[in-house]
């Protein structure tokens, strides 16, 4: 109904129906041909044409015109388009409405779509694609199935509705399986068919595997789902960077917001994407356009691309996170470019125990632990790691001892997904990292880092998000300008215990960018801020108690 309403609007001549592979786009548009309302409007003038990944314009138009294969082929693409433009009005007597459905149009085919956009009365084009094609004004984004519809499709596929299955599982088991499919119709159908008529042992084994961290893509189901999802990752030439960026999104925990600021820190070091995050934002927009993730921009003025905010984030569907992890796991541990580790409790993966004395060659290492983890780390030799991502949920958390061996580490991202800020220990290990350029800390308590700052001569940027920074931040006794002599950017966001602006910060002569946002207890800036003679950007936003600026800011 929603699709029909959009399609039949007078101003809509071309509508792009977009969604990831396996969401049912083709199934939905084929239903239009059986809809009485649509058939009443377009009658026999509904044309359905599969386009595919490598479209041949002459073949498409030949099928569209139902041209006899024995007749001479078109001389060229232009000849085919000319004949189509001449014949469409002939096919449509008395200018009755035409609906042209171009199914499965792939990225990079915008020029193909434009060739079909004739100026004919009552002529509409409906496009299905995994890509949103931002150049075209009207888009309908097909969402995954809701819980009720997902349940109905799964029960139908598994033969549970008509009682034809030899085993009928209880409701809780079915809910767990349906949830694991994430509302993707193809996943529900594939998993349902794989369990159709199977014994109770098979059903219980499937749920047990998923409960112990196995992916839906790793279990013994039909390969259609994996092939469908993998086909969305076929990039060419300069687009290969998008595939790498997509794979990196799997480094963050499922069902969590991925901060754009964290991605800027990661990708600036891994892929040398510079220019204040513009390249990163551009890549995220393209990933969003291809329905591989959702970019959520919370700023009121989204046009200020370079002025990103910590409040912008990315959401990734669980199936695509599993796809990224599955793709990463196809190589041996020691050869992987990115190593993603999810630890439940204190159950260190078996391969880790076996690899303790063997270096890993990953550039990106991501370790996620849950609320029952005891911070008891085993040894690891991360010789080539450039980006380290640590995700945790415990009240106290210590940096792993092997961090001090990461002499190639450039970016450290530590995120606490628990309810309250957690104490972060072993912070002094960072002093042994000669190449560390970026630190991002979220929801941690880190007074020690300012009480005795570890020497970080290459540190260029530190970001503190929802952190308890403590009194030591204000009363830092050691000259940070000496310990962090190359510090160029400080971001402080949602740090509720920031009451006074630290005077020592004003003497960090290397500082170029200073951003303090959403710190509602901050009431004043010191006159010493004039000492920041190299400052280029001063961002003060949503600090509600900050009523005025000192006159000395005119010296900046």
With left for phi above 0 and alpha for psi between -120 and 50, is residue 426 left, alpha or beta?
Answer: left
Name the CA radius of gyration of the chain, rounded: 28
Q: What are phi and psi of 340, to 5 degrees?
A: -115, 120
pLDDT of residue 84: 82
The edge-to-edge listing of strands for the beta sheet with 537-541 is 338-343, 364-369, 387-392, 411-416, 438-442, 461-465, 489-493, 513-517, 537-541
Question: H or E stretch including 165?
Answer: none
The two most distant CA atoms of the chain are separated, in Å, by 88
pLDDT of residue 472: 63
**CA 1 – CA 333 distance, rounded (Å):** 49
Angle between helices 185-195 and 147-157 (to 10 degrees): 30
pLDDT of residue 549: 92
Q: What is the DSSP letter of 177?
A: H
Tens-of-pLDDT digits for all 556 residues of the chain?
999 999 999 999 999 999 988 899 999 999 888 889 998 888 878 888 888 777 788 878 877 776 545 455 678 888 888 888 787 777 666 667 889 899 989 888 888 888 888 887 788 999 999 999 888 889 999 999 999 999 999 999 888 877 666 678 888 888 988 988 888 898 898 888 888 888 888 888 888 888 777 778 876 565 778 888 888 888 888 889 999 999 999 999 988 999 999 999 999 999 887 656 788 888 999 999 999 999 988 765 545 545 556 688 999 888 889 899 988 888 888 889 999 999 888 888 888 877 666 788 899 999 999 888 887 788 888 889 999 999 999 888 999 999 998 999 999 999 999 888 888 888 889 989 999 999 999 999 876 677 777 888 899 999 999 998 877 677 665 667 778 889 999 999 999 888 888 888 888 889 999 999 999 999 989 899 999 999 999 999 999 999 999 999 998 9
DSSP strands (E only) in 337-477: 338-343, 364-369, 387-392, 396-398, 411-416, 422-425, 438-442, 444-445, 461-465
Please name which of 337, 182, 369 lies closest in space to residue 248, comparing C-alpha atoms. 337
Tokens of residue 388, six digits: 């380290």
Domains of the chain: 2-141 (3.40.50.300), 147-227 (1.10.8), 235-318 (1.10.10), 331-555 (3.80.10.10)
pLDDT of residue 94: 63
> What does DSSP say about strands 537-541 and 387-392: parallel, antiparallel, or unpaired?
unpaired
pLDDT of residue 350: 83
**CA 465 – CA 147 distance, rounded (Å):** 34
Please name which of 448, 436, 513 lies closest in space to residue 478, comparing C-alpha atoms. 448
Angle (CA) 132-135-139 rounded to 5° is 40
What's the Cα-to-Cα distance from 441 to each of 222, 388, 449, 483, rounded to whole Å? 42, 12, 11, 19
**CA 443 – CA 143 distance, rounded (Å):** 32
Q: What is the DSSP letter of 552?
A: G
> What does DSSP say about strands 313-315 and 294-296: parallel, antiparallel, or unpaired?
antiparallel
Please name which of 364, 340, 217, 235 lies closest in space to residue 287, comparing C-alpha atoms. 235
DSSP strands (E only) in 242-386: 258-259, 294-296, 313-315, 338-343, 364-369
Please name which of 143, 186, 204 lies closest in space to residue 323, comparing C-alpha atoms. 186
pLDDT of residue 439: 95
Angle (CA) 247-214-381 rounded to 5° is 60
194 near 209, Cβ under 8 Å? no
Tokens 């599955």 appear where? 326
pLDDT of residue 70: 47
From the number of C-beta atoms within 10 Å of its C-beta (0-12, 13-18, 19+), residue 14 rates as buried
**CA 70 – CA 68 distance, rounded (Å):** 5
């Amino acid at each position: 109904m929603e699709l029909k309403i959009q399609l039949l609007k007078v101003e809509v001549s071309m509508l792009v129906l977009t969604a990831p592979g396996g969401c049912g786009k083709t199934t939905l548009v084929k239903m239009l041909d059986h809809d009485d309302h649509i058939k009443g409007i377009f009658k026999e003038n509904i044309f359905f044409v599969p386009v595919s990944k490598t479209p041949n314009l002459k073949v498409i138009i030949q099928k569209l015109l139902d041209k006899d294969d024995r007749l001479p082929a078109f001389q060229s693409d232009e000849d085919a388009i000319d004949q189509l433009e001449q014949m469409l009005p002939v096919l449509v007597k008395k200018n009755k409405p035409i609906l042209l459905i171009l199914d499965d149009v792939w990225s990079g085919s915008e020029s193909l779509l434009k060739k079909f956009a004739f100026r004919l009365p009552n002529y509409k084009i409906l496009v299905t694609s995994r890509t949103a094609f931002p150049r075209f004004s009207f888009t309908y984004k097909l969402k995954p199935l809701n819980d009720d519809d997902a349940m109905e499709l799964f029960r139908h596929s598994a033969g549970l509705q008509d009682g034809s299955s030899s085993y009928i599982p209880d409701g809780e088991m079915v809910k767990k399986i349906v949830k694991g499919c994430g509302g993707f119709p193809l996943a529900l159908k594939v998993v349902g068919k794989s369990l159709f008529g199977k014994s109770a042992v098979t059903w219980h084994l499937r749920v047990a595997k998923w409960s112990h961290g196995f992916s839906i893509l790793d279990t013994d189901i039909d390969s259609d789902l994996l092939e469908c999802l993998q086909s969305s990752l076929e990039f060419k030439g300069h687009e290969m960077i998008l595939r790498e960026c997509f794979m990196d999104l799997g480094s963050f925990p499922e069902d969590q917001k991925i901060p754009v600021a964290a991605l800027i820190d990661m990708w600036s070091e891994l892929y040398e994407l510079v220019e204040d995050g513009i390249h990163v934002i551009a890549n995220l927009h393209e990933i969003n356009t291809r329905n591989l993730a959702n970019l959520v921009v919370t700023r009121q003025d989204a046009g200020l691309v370079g002025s990103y905010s910590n409040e912008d984030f990315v959401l990734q569907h669980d199936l695509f996170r599993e796809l990224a992890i599955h793709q990463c796991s196809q190589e041996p541990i020691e050869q992987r470019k990115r190593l993603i580790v999810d630890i439940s409790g204190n159950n260190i993966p078996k391969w880790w125990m076996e690899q303790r004395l063997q270096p890993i060659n990953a550039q990106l290492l991501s370790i996620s632990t849950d609320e029952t983890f005891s911070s008891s780390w085993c040894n690891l030799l991360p010789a080539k790691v450039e980006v380290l991502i640590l995700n945790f949920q415990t009240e106290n958390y210590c940096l792993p001892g092997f961090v001090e061996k990461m002499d190639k580490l450039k970016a450290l991202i530590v995120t606490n997904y628990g309810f309250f800020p957690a104490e972060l220990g072993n912070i002094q290990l960072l002093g042994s990292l000669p190449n560390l350029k970026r630190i991002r800390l979220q929801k941690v308590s880190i007074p020690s880092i300012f009480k005795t700052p570890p020497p970080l001569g290459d540190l260029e940027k530190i970001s503190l998000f929802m952190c308890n920074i403590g009194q030591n931040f204000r009363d830092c006794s050691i000259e940070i300008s000496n310990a962090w002599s190359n510090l160029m950017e400080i971001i402080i966001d949602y740090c509720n215990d920031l009451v006074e602006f630290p005077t020592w910060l004003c003497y960090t002569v290397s500082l170029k960018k200073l951003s303090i946002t959403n710190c509602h207890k901050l009431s004043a800036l010191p006159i010493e801020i004039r000492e920041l003679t190299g400052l280029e950007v001063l961002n003060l936003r949503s600090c509600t108690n900050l009523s005025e600026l000192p006159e000395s800011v005119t010296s900046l």
